[in-house]
Structure 1
């Protein structure tokens, strides 16, 4: 006797006695619980990512400047970084394309020469830190 497909699926998702098991949550609406879980995970991930970035920047810059650099990131920079990470993590060809682009940029910077690439990078970091410091200052009217 063969089992029906639905019973196999029900067992794989945690069915109890042929019915799906109740998953406790804040709301009785499962979509609300899913949304809340998504927000918590994304918020926690963002906090952790900022902490790691500040720590890595803290090896070269002061703690305050590292915080300003992370705060000064524009919306476009954030969206580009997110898009590239998604492309790289969703498929092998995407990872190859993004990795190849990063390699090409690194080789281009090296070809420019240490001083030119370093000077340009430091100028952009200063601008981003200034934007972050401006953002954290209270609004003066």
Structure 2
């Protein structure tokens, strides 16, 4: 069985090496210079990811705050916020410890924001005057 697999793999490799290279006029590169082709491909990929990222960001914000507020938040994003999010994304995607650090930080920030919102809500409820009581309830 193993001999048969090795033999068929060898045949496939041999066929691949025997294939003729494409003639020069048959290539589908956008430019004749390979570096220019890579630059164009990189620009296309970055533009596509930019469009997808903005769409996802707007969709997430629109669900909670509405489309006008989502547009306003994205328009008021500073350069520092953009650089920070880029750096965090790079750190998270390059290594497992980086992903753990960034993910842990995101969870901690979410828990902090929720606790802060709950405290603020409780303080606002304490500041509101009590509703007037009826005479028969005063005992």
TM interval, shorter chain, is 0.5 to 0.7
Q: 1:16 to 1:40 in 2, by over 3 A?
A: farther
Q: Which has the higher contact order (CA 8 A, sep 6+)?
A: 1
5+ long unaligned stretches in structure 2: 1-12, 122-139
Q: TM-score, normalised by structure 1?
A: 0.62
Instruction: Let me know the Cα RMSD of the aligned residues.
Output: 2.8
Match of 2:116 in 1: 112
Match of 2:79 in 1: 75
Q: What are the superposed Cα offsets for residues 85-127 of structure 1, whole Å, 9 maximum, x if unpaired?
A: 111111001111111212222233344342549xxxxxxxxxx
1:91 aligns with 2:95: yes
Indicate if the aligned counterparts of 1:54 and 1:70 stay in contact, CA closer than 8 A: yes
Q: Give the aligned length.
A: 105
Q: TM-score, normalised by structure 2?
A: 0.63
Aligned pairs for 1:38-77 within 5 A: 38-77=42-81
Normalized per residue, the structure richer in helix is 2
Q: 1:59 to 1:111 in 2, by over 3 A?
A: closer
5+ long unaligned stretches in structure 1: 1-10, 118-141
